[in-house]
A and B are shown apart, each in its own frame.
Chain A
Amino acid sequence: MDNERIVVTGMGVTSAIGNNVEENFSALQQSKSGIGKIEILETVHQDHFPVGEIKMSNEALAEYLKLPDFHYFTRAALLGAYAAKQALQQANIEEIDFQTGFVNGTSVGGMDVTEKLYHTYKENPSNFLFIEAQHPGFTTNKIADYLGINGVVTTISTACSSGANAVMMGAKLLQKKRLKRVLVGATDCLSKFTLNGFHSLRILSSDLCQPFDQHRKGLNLGEAAGYLVLETEEDAKKRNQPILAYLEGYANANDAHHQTASSATGEGSFLAMQQALKNANLNPQQIDYINAHGTATPNNDLSEGTAIQRLFQETPMLSSTKAFTGHTLAAAGAIEAVFSILSLQHQCVFPNLNFQTKMEDLNFSPQTSFQKQEVNYVLSNSFGFGGNCSSLIFSKAL
């Protein structure tokens, strides 16, 4: 990493296992999954595919955020504003100026309104204001407006690694002194588009997902938003702001194998993890816990597991938390960054739910119960379509 150490001073999250950081931790501690029947998303697949849905309607979210009646927020913007507010509050950032930036991740952005209004935009002029929701920046702008961030605002969309990449971009902006503090993370809501998209790829499981299990059948989708406030160690100390964790290293690499499938050797994930370790100046054996991407698709878990086996002589404790939240796409890297920091703060590792049988092709099994133990460095993986592979490394606050 370039000279400056980057610290995390605020976190916010909303997911199927809770509407704030404490609720999420409590569910992780009690092995309480949030995956279940679809209640809010309107889809013919309601009874077929379990998902990690946030049981708050758009109306309830808007009311909580005190939005005016005609607010034109997409669901991803509502979830994003909800979680981002928590992060800024924890970091005690009251005054937002041009030194405060925002790097948001999202995969489908405002797809929820696009798919609802697609054929009816013309019927009602009040729908016209949602036309722009078709580009992902619209969702980011809504969150930026809500928070009052007017300076550097950008959106990253690299499918399921967007959240991790947003963290990385934010860190670079701080290290190069373009900003004093930056809100980073991602948001994605459930939509018919993604549900049917993953169904068309035949990688949705009709049962609860089983990451790293020999008999895993596919993933459960989820929705979530997660955000971190990043700043330099120097700045955080100057204003006596408690440091939650350090961002020690990061890397992004490409699998360059197939538009959606991962290579058998996990080349992209191997390179991302290897380069993140190098960036953090760490050896593989120093990693205490891996929060894996672990989507529970046959392809991902084999590819990621193989890459981990190649890189680590002895596999550290590892789990995928996707069986708690579902695969929350762009948000995955962001909420799992929050979970990784919780692991450091509470000195514990989280269970990989629904695991029964070790994979034949791998020499390790994931952690199956909540366990207290010493954790100094956590590696968090996020991989996405387009061969996009990202790894983040967090360390314990001193």
Chain B
Amino acid sequence: MFVNGISTLNAQDISSSEETFFGEVQTYSSPILKTYFSDFRKYIKPAAMRRMSSSVKMGVVAASKVLASTNITQPDAIIVGTGMGCKTDSDVFLENLLASNEGLLSPTKFIQSTHNTVAGQIALQLKCKAYNMTFVQGAASFETALLDAFLQTNSSKNKNLLVGGVDEISKYSNELHQLDGQLKTEQEICNLNLLDYVSAGSISGEGASFFVVSGEKSEASYASVKDIETYNQLGKDGLKNKVLNFLKKNELNTEDIDVFICGNNADVNYDDFYHSLQTDIFSQTPQLYYKHLVGEFYTSSGFAFWLACKILRLQEIPEICQLNNFKPNSSIKTILLYNQYKGRDHSFILLQAC
């Protein structure tokens, strides 16, 4: 499967040129990293935008951008991954319901609350009647959306599929996530020093990453996706075996991995999964991380996928993402992504230059 178009919105300034990763790196002092992008009006009519929640807005814009960049008006499928869906609208409907003790409610927020609202709204905007799917499997939401696309491009080569991941910040969820150890409780956190905060939880983020993928290579192809695997649960020993098998299945050794991108999020209870590979089989491999830039959210790995595509295109790695001092060889051919959240939804994605 080939990645023929890429687009991402998140806490970083992504709007810059084709030639660079991002503009000036955005730093935050709170553990909540809201999306930097604000120019929604450029892409969505005001009347339509009025009812849109932030995930719908982010999803629609990221989708519009990537379709425009590939000159595709009608994708052959719209496949979206989202961990929490339109959480804020769902919360508002529930709050109104509870406050009124199940009184008369406006249906607007209920209508927007379904998890497939983003995929549905993209279809509506494009008048696209094609296959439309939404995966909501925590940190494997984007990965299973990508897997669905991968299976489809395998049987029909000439189709252009729109696939993406999106999640929004919900104020109430963040409050709750400080209770159950998902979000760090330090009042001030400098995102760029994320890994220095040795405590439970991570920092919260939001964003949308959308891609046009196809079974056919185009002149504009960024990368080819060789394989994707997800595991709902793995122990650390199991993890190492699964990675090695994954590489073997694709006729690769650990030395063939030019860049290893991991989802380290500074959660003291779970970063060991990353460390177990980073200090072992990939200890000599250039290692990158990214959640200090965009925060942790269920589909933040969509940004890692974007980053990998961009690295293969530019043939360089962003310094700010480097975890160790190893630099890739002169030509970057193969990138492995690994992500998990709280020890669940482990995923490997293998990308290669094409």
- CA of A44 to CA of B179, assembled, Å: 31
Contacts A2-B155, A135-B138, A136-B115 given: A252-B105 contact, CB under 8 Å? Answer: no
For the complex, is A128 an interface residue (Cβ under 8 Å from B)? Answer: yes
C-alpha gap A159/B118 in the complex (Å):
12
Task: Indicate with 1 or 0, residue by residue over B226-247, a CB within 8 angstroms of chain A CB atoms.
Answer: 0000111110000000000000
> Is there a chain B Cβ closer than 8 Å to A26's Cβ?
no
CA distance A137 to B140 in the complex (A): 9
Contact stretch, chosen from B2-10, B26-34, B37-45, B123-131: B123-131
Q: Do A156 and B111 touch (CB < 8 A)?
A: no
B132 and A156: CB pair below 8 A? Answer: no
Is A157 touching B136 in the complex (CB atoms < 8 A)? yes
A352 within 8 A of B: no
Q: Which residue of A lies closest to B231 (CB)?
A: A151
Residues in A with CB closer than 8 Å to B306 are none
Pair A197/B107 contact, Cβ less than 8 Å:
yes
Return B298 CB to nearest CB of chain A, in Å.
7
Please choose the segment from A217-225, A285-293, A341-349, A384-392 that sits at the chain B interface, where 4 or more of its residues have CB less than 8 A away.
A384-392
B283 located at the interface, meaning its Cβ lies under 8 Å from any Cβ of chain A in the complex? no
Please give the distance in Å from A43's CB to the nearest CB on chain B. 6
Q: Shortest beta-carbon distance, A217 to chain B, in Å?
A: 17
Q: What does the 1/0 interface line of A303-316 toward B look like (CB < 8 Å)?
A: 00000000000000
Q: Within the assembled complex, what's the spacing in Å between the Cα atoms of A234 and B97?
A: 51
Report which of B133, B182, B231 forms a contact with A252, defined as CB distance below 8 A. B133
- Is A31 an interface residue, CB under 8 A from the partner? no
* Contact across chains for A192 and B97 when beta carbons are under 8 A apart: yes
Whether B135 contacts A155 by the Cβ 8 Å rule is: yes
Known contacts A141-B232, A386-B123; A259 and B111 CB within 8 A of each other:
yes
* Contact, CB under 8 Å: A141 / B138: yes
In the bound complex, CA of A119 to CA of B154 (Å): 47
Give chain B residues whose Cβ lies under 8 Å from the Cβ of A107. 114-115
Would you call B132 and A157 a contact (CB within 8 A)? no
A178–B151 touching, CB < 8 Å: yes
B302 at the interface (CB under 8 A from A): no
Contact across chains for B138 and A138 when beta carbons are under 8 A apart: yes
Q: What does the 1/0 interface line of B78-97 toward A look like (CB < 8 Å)?
A: 10000111010010011101
A254 within 8 A of B: yes
Q: Is B116 an interface residue (CB 8 A)?
A: yes
A interface, size bucket: 35 or more
Docked-complex contact B136 and A193, CB < 8 angstroms: no
- Give Cα distance in the complex from A253 to B78, angstroms: 10
Q: Which of chain B's residues have a CB closer than 8 A to the CB of A200?
A: 104-107, 110
- B180 x A129 contact (CB < 8 A): yes
Contact of B134 among A44, A115, A157, A260 (CB under 8 A): A157
Q: For the complex, is B214 an interface residue (Cβ under 8 Å from A)?
A: no
The one of B101, B111, B147 that contacts A201, using a Cβ cutoff of 8 Å? B111
Task: Kindly list chain A residues whose C-beta atoms are within 8 Å of the C-beta of B106.
Answer: 200
A155 to B138, CA, bound (A): 9
Which are the 4 A-B pairs with shortest beta-carbon distances? A386-B120, A137-B138, A153-B232, A157-B115
26 residue pairs from A and B, CB less than 8 Å apart: A98-B231, A107-B115, A121-B179, A128-B179, A132-B182, A134-B176, A135-B136, A136-B136, A137-B345, A150-B234, A157-B114, A158-B115, A158-B116, A158-B132, A158-B133, A159-B115, A169-B148, A172-B148, A197-B93, A197-B107, A200-B105, A252-B132, A257-B124, A259-B117, A271-B129, A385-B117
